[in-house]
């Protein structure tokens, strides 16, 4: 286990149970960004769901990470050049289990669970769920549509009444400019500045908003103890991605992070139950 940074008293370690956020759904077991993966994450008890959003050619926000579809839908198309109807014809789950068609005993799966997932459908699923679940929405940049992505996103949050303080959503991005846009459009929405290089932090800590959360990757936290100490000294809430191993969860617990984003939400919840007892 990585040692507790010297500025953190030992009694402070492991006193806060972080929220477990399902990264693209329960994406270790099921195809990322499918409704199937998100429903599985909800059923495991995840406190939050994470998704990436991109804008289609006809103006729909869809939950897709890559700019093109080669990895997740065996298609050469680019999301921003395609309409939602075209995306709806593709299978976004086959890549995860390419031999599924050979299993005669596998149950038939609803095609809606395998197809492209719109952000609206995901938010509707969360809104209808029988407990509070939070959604961490990452806008992807650069994109041909620039600030239109954030504009459409905030418009959708208003449809749900989720552009106010206390709403179960937060917006994340590696783009400082994108988060500034959201802040102008919806100043009460929680913002998370993502970063993946330690040398980005000295600049970011001077320019990001006073109430913004910081979202470092677990890799740079493991490799840079001084960064860990600096983040704690900043007094900001910390959300860490992508935390899939027990030793990495321990690093997060030592730092007192507020959320861990994981491909394996059930595994993380079980580990936290062992350390803290009970449920999230």
Give catalytic residue positions.
23, 65
Interacting residues of 202 by C-beta distance below 8 A, sequence separation 6+: none
Q: What is the CA radius of gyration of the chain?
A: 19
The token pair at 145 is 């549509």
Q: How many CB atoms lie within 10 A of CB 98?
A: 9
Length of the chain: 280
Rounded Cα distance between 164 and 19, Å, is 21
Confirm if 19 and 44 have CB atoms less than 8 A apart. Answer: no
How many Å apart are CA 5 and CA 232, to the nearest integer? 9
For residue 109, the number of C-alpha atoms closer than 13 Å in the C-beta half-sphere is: 20
Chain centre distance of CA 116: 17
Is residue 126 within a helix (H) or strand (E), and if so which, with residue range? helix 119-127
């Amino acid at each position: 286990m990585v040692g507790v940074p010297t500025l953190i008293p030992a009694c402070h370690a492991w006193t806060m149970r972080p929220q477990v956020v399902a990264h693209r759904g329960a994406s270790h077991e099921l195809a990322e960004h499918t409704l199937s993966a998100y429903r599985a994450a909800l059923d495991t008890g995840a406190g939050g769901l994470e998704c990436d959003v991109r804008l289609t050619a006809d103006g729909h926000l869809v939950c897709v990470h890559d700019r093109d579809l080669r990895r997740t839908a065996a298609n050469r198309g680019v999301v921003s050049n395609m309409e939602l109807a075209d995306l709806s014809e593709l299978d976004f789950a086959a890549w995860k289990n390419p031999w599924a068609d050979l299993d005669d005993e596998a149950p038939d799966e609803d095609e809606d669970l395998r197809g492209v997932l719109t952000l609206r459908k995901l938010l509707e699923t969360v809104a209808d769920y029988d407990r509070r679940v939070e959604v961490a929405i990452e806008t992807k940049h650069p994109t041909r549509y620039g600030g239109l992505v954030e504009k459409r996103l905030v418009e959708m949050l208003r449809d749900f009444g989720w552009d106010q303080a206390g709403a179960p959503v937060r917006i994340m991005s590696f783009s400082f400019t994108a988060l500034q846009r959201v802040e102008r459009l919806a100043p009460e929405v929680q913002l998370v500045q993502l970063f993946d290089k330690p040398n980005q932090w000295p600049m970011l800590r001077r320019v990001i908003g006073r109430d913004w959360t910081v979202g470092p990757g677990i890799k740079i936290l493991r490799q840079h103890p001084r960064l860990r100490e600096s983040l704690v000294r900043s007094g900001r809430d910390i959300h860490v991605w992508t935390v899939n191993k027990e030793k990495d969860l321990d690093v997060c617990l030592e730092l007192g992070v507020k959320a861990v984003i994981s491909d394996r939400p059930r595994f993380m919840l079980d580990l936290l139950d062992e350390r803290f007892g009970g449920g999230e």
